[in-house]
Amino acid sequence: MPLRWPAMVIFRGAAGAEESRRALKTNQSEIPRCARNDEWTCFSAARKGQRYSAIQEAAHSHGCFPETISFGMIASMGVAVRCRNLVKTYDGNVEAVRGLDLEILSGECFGLLGPNGAGKTTTIEILEGLLPQTSGEVEILGKNWNAHNRELREVLGISLQETRLGEKLTVRETLDLFASFYRRPRSTDEVMEEMALTEKANSWVGKLSGGQRQRLAVATALMANPKILFLDEPTTGLDPQSRRQLWETVRQFQSRGGTILLTTHYMDEAERLCDRISIIDHGRTIASGTPAQLIEKLGGRQMVEFDATDNDPGAKERWRSLPGVEAVHEENGCVILSVRETHETIPALLAALQKRGARLLRLTTRQASLEDVFVHLTGRHLRED
């Protein structure tokens, strides 16, 4: 999400505030500390187009945690997509979406995550104007589908989970065809170059690799010169190089002021690309925020995974009582602890195992991730059925 001037970011944790300011080359605001809490410090972004996620990463490296963006940024961005109390019912009794609220700001990359069957695809199809809602309000750039269907089609780019294109058309013919649907399309040559498809311009679609087909599907969405781009699992099945090429396309589109709604089954992708995320399950929002905020809400910023010979049913509560432990769950026979400080928890864990005569089989530590948040909230991994 590019920060637009004037914009202010509030950090929590005074310890790394000065280092964060230097690293970001920002100017401290006229009110350096909020009166209500001496550990909250305000900074204003010094460069136009500076991404909020970049500010987060730099601040985290100095022990500082961005909490919010001031009214200066919110007022300058506006709302690109909004839905209120969205409901979709099938056959009168199957609720796929149950009172969902979303608000996506102009210029941000917004991630919609959830396990299979959570209502993601239904929600996106309603926002795209492909499916009518049962009830609730939907606004795209301040307009609704009933009154402004054609006008909205001109400013949206849509890449579906599965896009079937004419196998006997060339790449150029396919993009020229999509360009003909819009009043002011982008140049076919420009889009092919952006999507690294220029060398395949005269190749049949049926002869393209999986990664090339996926890039072509996104290219068709870009032909409209859209203000909002809907990407429904755009990198599923792609090799690592193709995934990163598509990530760069997303960043370029956003740098031009575009808004993106992204669904993905890859947590690392959501963490890298999304400025904010909503996790939904059973048709409702269960958590929203920046990736850093969601990870912080998990309770612990470090994860300790271990396997030991002592794994009786009562062990879970015993591990929960260790110092610094915020949450405990088991996965594939291993115990996973969410902790604040590993230097407090690990010695206590080793002492507890020794006291019980148990043998440690494996122990690893790592940073908490969005995947941990997802499992904690939904009880399953994103790719599980």
Could you write out the DSSP letters of every residue in 53-83?
A: HHHHHHHHTTT-EEEEE-HHHHHHH-EEEEE
Residues 6+ apart with CB under 8 A from 113: 120, 263, 264, 270, 277, 278, 279, 280, 374, 382
User: Mean per-residue pLDDT for 26-46?
Assistant: 36
As a whole number of angstroms, the distance between CA 184 and CA 124 comes to 25
130 and 315 in contact (C-beta within 8 Å)?
no
- Model confidence at 95: pLDDT above 80: yes
- Helices 171-179 and 210-222: crossing angle in degrees, nearest 10, is 20
- Higher-scoring residue by pLDDT: 310, 172: 172
192 and 171 in contact (C-beta within 8 Å)?
yes
258 and 90 in contact (C-beta within 8 Å)?
no
43 and 34 in contact (C-beta within 8 Å)?
no
* pLDDT given for residue 57 in this prediction: 59
Sort strands 40-44 and 360-367 into parallel, antiparallel or unpaired.
Answer: unpaired
pLDDT band at 380 (very low <50, low <70, confident <90, very high): low
Residue 209 vs residues 21, 40, 215, 223, 239: alpha-carbon distances, Å: 46, 51, 10, 21, 11
- Put the strands of the sheet holding 40-44 in their side by side order: 27-33, 40-44, 8-12, 65-69
* pLDDT given for residue 341 in this prediction: 83
pTM: 0.72
Q: State in words which class domain 299-367 has.
A: alpha beta
Sort strands 276-281 and 109-113 into parallel, antiparallel or unpaired.
Answer: parallel
Exposed e or buried b for every residue in 92-105, given b needs 16+ CB within 10 A? Answer: eeebbbbebebebb
* Beta-bridge partners for 285: 280
Residue 112 vs residues 101, 230, 244, 254, 271: alpha-carbon distances, Å: 12, 11, 20, 17, 12
* pLDDT given for residue 54 in this prediction: 58
- Model confidence at 108: pLDDT above 50: yes
Exposed e or buried b for every residue in 198-213, given b needs 16+ CB within 10 A? Answer: eebeeeebeebeebbb
Domain residues of the chain, as ranges?
Answer: 8-76, 78-288, 299-367
* Beta-bridge partners for 335: 306, 330
User: Mean per-residue pLDDT for 312-335?
Assistant: 79
> Going along the chain, which residue ranges are E strands?
8-12, 27-33, 40-44, 65-69, 79-90, 94-105, 109-113, 135-140, 156-159, 228-232, 259-263, 276-281, 284-289, 302-308, 325-331, 334-339, 360-367
* pLDDT given for residue 81 in this prediction: 94
The region that residue 270 occupies, defined by phi over 0 for left and psi between -120 and 50 for alpha, beta otherwise, is alpha
Residue keyed to tokens 């909230």: 377
Distance of CA 377 to the CA centre of its chain: 16
As a whole number of angstroms, the distance between CA 348 and CA 51 comes to 40
182 and 140 in contact (C-beta within 8 Å)?
no
Tokens encoding 363? 């122990």
pLDDT band at 161 (very low <50, low <70, confident <90, very high): confident
- Model confidence at 229: pLDDT above 80: yes
Residue % of the chain over a pLDDT of 70: 76
- Model confidence at 149: pLDDT above 50: yes
Tokens encoding 296? 């912080």
Domain 78-288 has CATH 3.40.630.30: no
Which phi and psi (to 5°) does residue 334 adopt?
-105, 150
